[in-house]
């Protein structure tokens, strides 16, 4: 039996990052875990705090560090960036967070890092593309959390509506992690049976399903209005994706993956199911879309591309 040693570097020890560090500790994932942030004292404090949980979970080497610690890391997770204030969209953060991403990728790559980058900072699809272009790493080894959180929200609401465990719902939010996202209701299933057929039996209308999509797409705003930020959901999604990478699971998960012709799209990252293993995105699953869903995917991609083109031009990317 080989002793596995996985090293993960977290960049951004705010609400999302520290919750992710805690989730990883709870799951006993990553034998070595480095926390990096401009607020250095906080990374040391968080590492000490999480260390106190190890006697109940699993021992690991967790410490506040710097980019010089990333050279031999398997995975770098980037949660550094300004979060939305009430009333702001994710896309409003683009210029500020692109500057932060640039300041991270340069020292990260200077460390000799050659692993996988997983991005969560918003607007995540655009920042993931920036991270890939700035790092020069293969597109399969740089990807984003994409619509993983949105898909979790959708499955939870559908689970409640149809009275089934959300883990048994096979439905996806696709497109931008943001206002132009959409659900694949025309193909979604529970136990292999179409959700639309379940809905018909239960007198649930298309308008009811659209209301579920609306609630999913607006849940971040609802949470931010009440507590200022969202973090537990995305931290758990990041933990789940990290586990698929570190354990080489070949798990099918919704992520923000690079488009190389899938859905007729190129050179953008967008929310889609993909197979995730220790190589990153092993392959993108181009899930079937009805005509109206394909139109929504194209519109979502255009919304992302327009913002990315404008923002990248400002930093010569
Ligand atoms: N993809 C998703 O589903 C979700 C993404 N987010 C995004 O995650 C990001 C972080 O959100 P929060 O943790 O709530 O924000 P936060 O403000 O609590 O934490 C951000 C952290 O980034 C650090 N930071 C800033 N500049 C840095 C730099 N140059 N290098 C290293 N660290 C730096 C800050 O010191 C701070 O600790 C935001 O962009 C937010 O919109 C939040 C929830 C869900
Ligand atoms: C903030 C954010 O992106 C979310 O909760 O979906």
Give the percent of the chain with pLDDT over 90: 97
> Is residue 177 annotated as part of the catalytic site, yes or no?
yes
Same domain, 115 and 57: yes
Domain range holding 126?
7-144
Same domain, 169 and 31: no
Cβ contact 54:60 at 8 Å: yes
Q: Is the CB of 235 under 6 A from ligand 1?
A: no
Residue 207 lies in a domain: yes
Same domain, 75 and 195: no
Q: For residue 21, is pLDDT > 50?
A: yes
Nearest alpha carbon to residue 142 among 120, 122, 158, 161: 120
266-278 confidence digits (pLDDT tens):
999 999 999 999 9
| CB-side neighbour CA atoms (13 Å) of 38 | 8
199-227 confidence digits (pLDDT tens):
999 999 999 999 999 999 999 999 999 99
Same domain, 94 and 136: yes
Same domain, 191 and 283: yes
| 42: CB partners within 8 A, 6+ apart | 13, 64
Q: What is the CATH classification number for the domain harbouring 180?
A: 3.90.110.10
Residue 15 lies in a domain: yes
Residue 61 lies in a domain: yes
Q: Which residues are annotated as a binding site for substrate?
A: 84, 90, 122-125, 150-153, 230
Question: Atom 18 of ligand 1 has which residue's CA nearest to it?
Answer: 14
Q: For residue 1, is pLDDT > 50?
A: no
Same domain, 272 and 134: no
Q: Which of 79, 110, 144 is the last residue of a domain?
A: 144
Residue 2 lies in a domain: no
Residue 233 pLDDT = 98
Q: For residue 2, is pLDDT > 80?
A: no
Cβ contact 271:256 at 8 Å: yes
Same domain, 126 and 44: yes
Name the strands in the sheet holding 7-11, side by side, starting at the edge strand that comes first in the sequence.
61-64, 32-36, 7-11, 75-78, 116-119, 142-144, 251-260, 266-277, 280-284
Nearest alpha carbon to residue 239 among 61, 79, 130: 79
Q: Which of 144, 179, 198 is the last residue of a domain?
A: 144
Cβ contact 262:286 at 8 Å: yes
Task: Note the ipTM here.
Answer: 0.99
Residue 1 lies in a domain: no
pTM of the model: 0.98
């Amino acid at each position: 039996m080989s002793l596995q040693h996985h090293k993960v570097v977290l960049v951004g020890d705010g609400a999302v990052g520290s919750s992710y560090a805690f989730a990883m500790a709870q799951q006993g994932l990553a034998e070595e875990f480095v926390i990096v942030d401009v607020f250095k004292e906080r990374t040391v404090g968080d590492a000490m705090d999480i260390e106190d949980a190890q006697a109940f979970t699993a021992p690991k080497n967790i410490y506040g560090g710097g980019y010089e610690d990333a050279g031999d890391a398997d995975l770098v997770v980037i949660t550094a960036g300004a979060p939305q204030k009430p009333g702001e969209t994710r896309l409003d953060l683009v210029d500020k967070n692109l500057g932060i991403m640039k300041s991270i990728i340069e020292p990260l790559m200077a460390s000799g890092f050659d692993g996988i980058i997983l991005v969560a900072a918003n607007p995540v699809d655009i920042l993931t593309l920036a991270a890939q272009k700035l790092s020069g790493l293969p597109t399969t080894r740089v990807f984003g959390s994409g619509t993983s959180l949105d898909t979790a929200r959708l499955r939870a609401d559908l689970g409640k509506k149809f009275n089934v465990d959300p883990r048994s719902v096979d439905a996806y939010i696709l497109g931008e992690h943001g206002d132009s996202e959409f659900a694949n209701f025309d193909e979604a299933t529970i136990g292999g049976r179409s959700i639309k057929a379940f809905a018909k039996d239960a007198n649930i209308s298309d308008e009811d399903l659209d209301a579920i999509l609306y609630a999913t797409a607006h849940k971040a705003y609802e949470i931010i209005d009440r507590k200022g930020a969202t973090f537990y959901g995305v931290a758990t999604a990041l933990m789940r994706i990290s586990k698929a990478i570190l354990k080489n699971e070949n798990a099918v998960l919704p992520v923000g993956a690079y488009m190389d012709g899938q859905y007729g799209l190129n050179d953008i990252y967008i929310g889609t199911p993909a197979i995730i293993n220790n190589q990153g995105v092993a392959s993108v699953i181009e899930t079937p879309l009805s005509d109206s869903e394909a139109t929504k995917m194209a519109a979502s991609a255009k919304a992302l591309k327009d913002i990315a083109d404008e923002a990248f031009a400002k930093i010569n990317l």
